[in-house]
Structure 1
Amino acid sequence: MSKGKDRAQAKRIVQEQLAREKRRKVTLWTSVGVVFVLVMAGLIGWSVAAGQEQDNAGKLTVPPVAVDEGTAFARGSGPVVVDIYEDFMCPICKEVETMTGPTVKQLVDTQKITVRYHPIAILDRYSSTQYSTRSAGAAAAAAQGGKFFEFHEALFAQQPPENSAGLDDAKLVEIGKSVGLDQTFADAVTGKTYTAWATKVTDTASARGVTGTPTFFVAGKKLDSPTPQALTAAVTAAQG
């Protein structure tokens, strides 16, 4: 009887071990399955987000506030139109903006000119992240948020050097928030809403004879030397 009991106990122990092992395997494969589902969900989510970003980058969305066939952002209501084509990666654009900006503002404030800013992207080759295109698109988003001119000044104030990565999207969003822009602006920057627009306006500028930045036109005539004195003289001449 003792031997029979021993065999029965041994059999029971083996069965319990087998049951525990079966439960362990079920738990393990259940965990693996959950992890797999979560990973796949993450990959699908990332794929969808990446696809949406790519779709936005290829979809032409023109900011409703843009003027001049959707290529520029205007300030002022004076009779003489001054068009300024600039690239936020262009160091000379920053220098000219610093030099002529106060004169442009004074001419706007005295209702002598309407200035139209054209952010274009001709210097993508001087950054590793297409900064010219990204910053032009961000400027369009800022214009749609009613803060183009504030963002314009802030971008030049924090201009990255040529042959660098440029400011990343997070920094562009940060600058936007510093001038009062909200989450709609941030979403437009990270979602590449105006990437195709930046490419389109650059092509339009080229078709209009713009071969470099900065380029100024006063009443449709190119200003060869965009100094404060030359700009004021050209505006006076255009007034007749």
Structure 2
Amino acid sequence: MSEKNREAKRSARERLQVQREQEKRRERRKRTLVVSAAVVGVLGAAAAIGLVATNANKDKGGSGASGPVLAPSGAQGKDELSIPVGMSDAPSTLTVWEDFRCPACGQFENAFRDTIKELETAGQLKVDYHLATIIDGNMGGSGSLRAANAAACAQDVGKFAPYHDTLFQNQPPEPDDAFADNARLLELAGKVDGLESAPGFRQCVEDGKHDKWVTNSNTAFQNGGFSGTPTVLLNGESVFPKKGAENITPANFKRWVTEANKGKQPGTAPATPPDTGASPS
């Protein structure tokens, strides 16, 4: 074989070697991207458990934020910032901080609604709902505020619980500020028997009657040292996403309440009798 042919073959082998090395590098980069995407997915799933309340101080009041603070009828607790559901004398209390735009809140509500209602009906549990607006601060918009005001308006006419559930059952994707539209909130009110036509409800929604109350509730959330929504406490102890070392599940949650209520009588007095009107606070 001539020297010229040997040189040509050597050059071909070298080019093939270079090509193989390039392919190996591309494959390594591809694997790195796949692994990185998987890690991001895991982090995203973890974030869905509880939304960190960063930038929540960006929230702004709505149309009624400059007027007097009007707490919804039957609101209780410090500064009347809690809306109670269930029996007032139930032996256990679940404290829930939620944002109607928060996807993790929707996941919690839709997964545990039946269990919570069963315990409420049995007089074993009262739920104190507190409303926050951190998604408005994080994502922009006013849907958290508008939905919370509408829920407070529903409380005025004794329809908070079913309307609260309807909002979470029809929750838009987090970036979609659909709840900023009062017309959408009134449309969803039509799914709750008697709410849309209840005296004063529509005007309350459109006027932002409880906006300042909602703003004060969100301020209380910010000042409470909570990491995000939903914040769920059973008799003052955090139970979401877990209680101690145990993950929350409907079965575990029911067991925790049963254990806490052992030897205690169930409640019989409704927390919020039907009422209308809101009182200045």
- Choose the corresponding residue for 1:174, options 187, 192, 217: 187
User: Aligned with 2:178: secondary structure?
Assistant: coil
Give the Å deviation of 1:116: 1.4
- Choose the corresponding residue for 2:123, options 104, 111, 125: 111
Distance 2:109 2:77 in 1: 21
If asked which structure has higher relative contact order (CA below 8 Å, sep 6+), I would say 2
Deviates more, 1:157-166 or 1:94-103: 157-166
Verify the 8 A CA contact 1:96 1:227 in the aligned structure 2: no
Distance 1:116 1:86 in 2: 11
User: Aligned with 2:228: secondary structure?
Assistant: coil
Match of 2:84 in 1: 74
Taking the TM superposition and a 5 Å limit, the aligned residue runs for 1:68-217 are 68-69=77-78, 70-77=80-87, 78-125=90-137, 128-167=140-179, 168-179=181-192, 180-181=194-195, 182-217=198-233
RMSD of aligned residue pairs (Cα, Å)? 1.8
User: Aligned with 1:102: secondary structure?
Assistant: helix
Q: Which amino acid aligns with 1:156?
A: F
Distance 1:106 1:239 in 2: 15
Verify the 8 A CA contact 2:178 2:184 in the aligned structure 1: no
Deviations 1:111-165 (A, max 9, x none): 1111112222111045553111111111101111110011011111211111123
Match of 1:32 in 2: none
Verify the 8 A CA contact 1:173 1:185 in the aligned structure 2: no
Distance 1:79 1:214 in 2: 22
Match of 1:58 in 2: 66
Give the Å deviation of 1:57: 2.4
Verify the 8 A CA contact 2:65 2:215 in the aligned structure 1: no
Match of 1:218 in 2: 234
Q: Give the TM-score taking structure 1 as reference length.
A: 0.72
Give the Å deviation of 1:95: 1.1
Verify the 8 A CA contact 2:73 2:155 in the aligned structure 1: no
Distance 2:121 2:136 in 1: 34
User: Aligned with 1:123: secondary structure?
Assistant: helix
User: Aligned with 1:66: secondary structure?
Assistant: coil
Distance 1:198 1:146 in 2: 18
- Choose the corresponding residue for 1:231, options 247, 253, 256: 253
Q: Which amino acid aligns with 1:188?
A: C
Give the Å deviation of 1:99: 0.9
Distance 1:129 1:184 in 2: 26
* Number of aligned residue pairs: 187
User: Aligned with 1:58: secondary structure?
Assistant: coil
Give the Å deviation of 1:88: 0.6
Match of 1:27 in 2: none
Segments of structure 1 that go 5 or more residues without pairing to the other structure are 1-52
Distance 1:135 1:216 in 2: 20
